[in-house]
Amino acid sequence: MGIVEKIKEIEEEMARTQKNKATEYHLGLLKAKLARYRAQLLEPTSKSGPAGVGFDVQKSGDARVALIGFPSVGKSTLLSKCTHTASETAAYEFTTLTAIPGVIEYQGARIQLLDLPGIVEGASQGRGRGRQVVATAKTADVILVMLDATKSEEQRRLLEIELDAVGIRLNKRKPDVVFKRKVTGGITLNTTVKLTKTDEKTIRTILASYKLHNCDVMIREDITTDEFIDVLIGTRKYIPCLYVYNKIDAISLELVDKLARTEYTVVISCEMDLNLDYLIERIWESLGLVKVYTKKRGERPDLSDPVCLRKGATIEDVCLGIHKSLATNFRYGLVWGRSSKFAPHAQKVSLNHQVQDGDVVSIFTK
Ligand SMILES: Nc1nc2c(ncn2[C@@H]2O[C@H](COP(=O)(O)OP(=O)(O)OP(=O)(O)O)[C@@H](O)[C@H]2O)c(=O)[nH]1
Ligand SMILES: [K+]
Ligand SMILES: [Mg+2]
């Protein structure tokens, strides 16, 4: 039996199994098995299908945003409107057959927007180019799930299933669980909160099914069984996402209003140029980039060319963002701005100091 069939079998068994206290533990086991098969399916060495690799497009700029959606929702129209790159658009499905990168310039940052082929249901299982598309989505800093506002709500859920199947978790944080493998000593399981969505027995069984007999597990939030499996698999990607409803020119105002009030949602019309600037603002916000300005000794800070970094970035990242040699020859740094303890005055800092948006930084080398 191939992996795809095995997955199907488990999914059917799960669907047949009633969810209650007595079956919770058995379901947990099935989930663990399912997650393992799915991971196998996407491994490059898997014999069950082509490799789970994305399109070969070089990452460029300060961040990457990927457009995921069913055919003809307007992905290429959006790319053509928001960047200087034209991507072919047409009324027929599967107009776009490969990844087309464009650049959004905003607030001194360069954001790569990636137009991708439309996907169909079952994309993650290797139908069409879908698998390549979802694998590319994994490399994005923000995913735009693009939807046709004139079509049913169902499309959103279907896309979520495809992304979930390749290990992408949308708008979620990594579960607060510390997991450490050991060589001996058995399993130490600690929880700092009461578990209401899973239980110790399920957790222990899942560990056993992964042949993890020696490890430390510290659970610090009320996680579900699925979230625990995610921690064990370890390759999950937690990516912020915006749901972008296009073609609002073709629906009622009531519906536009309702969609616009939904969390993580932006409504637009590419054709009528509605809300596109707002969409870019929201993308920027979701990226959560930190901009740092550099200053040479005795000069004013250079406000024209900021270094763009991820949230949580340190002085070391600032150095690496300028030139590798800066980190190796680093002596000390000076920061002005929100991350300075002595604001408005500078603080002398080392490589591991975390910077904040708007900081001005001077680096002193040996
Ligand atoms: N009414 C309306 N039509 C739009 C809008 N944006 C795009 N379209 C139309 O939708 C159709 C599909 O647009 P594309 O940009 O090719 O869609 P796509 O998602 O890139 O499609 P594939 O590459 O085939 O997956 C075209 O006929 C566009 O003119 C919009 O805001 N309103
Ligand atoms: K199209
Ligand atoms: Mg297209």
pLDDT digits (tens, 9 = 90+) for 314-358: 999 999 988 889 999 999 999 999 999 998 899 999 999 999 999
Nearby residues of 223 by Cβ (< 8 Å), 6 or more positions away: 175, 176, 177, 195, 197, 198, 231
pLDDT at position 44 is: 45
Number of domains present in the structure of the chain: 3
Does residue 75 line the site of ligand 1, with CB under 6 A?
A: yes
> Rounded distance, CA 203 to CA 198, Å?
8
pLDDT tens digit string along 286-324? Answer: 999 999 999 998 899 988 888 999 888 999 999 998 888
**232 occurs within a structural domain:** no
- Kindly state whether residues 274 and 295 are assigned to the same domain: no
Average pLDDT over every residue of 358-362? 95
| Cβ atoms of residues 98 and 55 within 8 Å | yes
- Kindly state whether residues 218 and 328 are assigned to the same domain: no
Does residue 271 line the site of ligand 1, with CB under 6 A?
A: yes
- Kindly state whether residues 166 and 256 are assigned to the same domain: yes
- Kindly state whether residues 310 and 182 are assigned to the same domain: no
The model's pTM is: 0.81
**90 occurs within a structural domain:** no
Does residue 86 line the site of ligand 1, with CB under 6 A?
A: no
- Kindly state whether residues 218 and 349 are assigned to the same domain: no
- Given a cut of 50, is residue 49 above it in pLDDT? no
Is the ipTM value over 0.95, yes or no?
yes
* Rounded distance from Cα 74 to ligand 1 centre (Å): 3
- Kindly state whether residues 339 and 357 are assigned to the same domain: yes
- Kindly state whether residues 165 and 260 are assigned to the same domain: yes
**32 occurs within a structural domain:** no
Does residue 269 line the site of ligand 1, with CB under 6 A?
A: yes
**186 occurs within a structural domain:** yes
Beta strands at 360-365 and 347-349: parallel, antiparallel or unpaired:
unpaired
In terms of residue numbers, what domain contains 185?
176-222
* Rounded distance from Cα 288 to ligand 3 centre (Å): 27
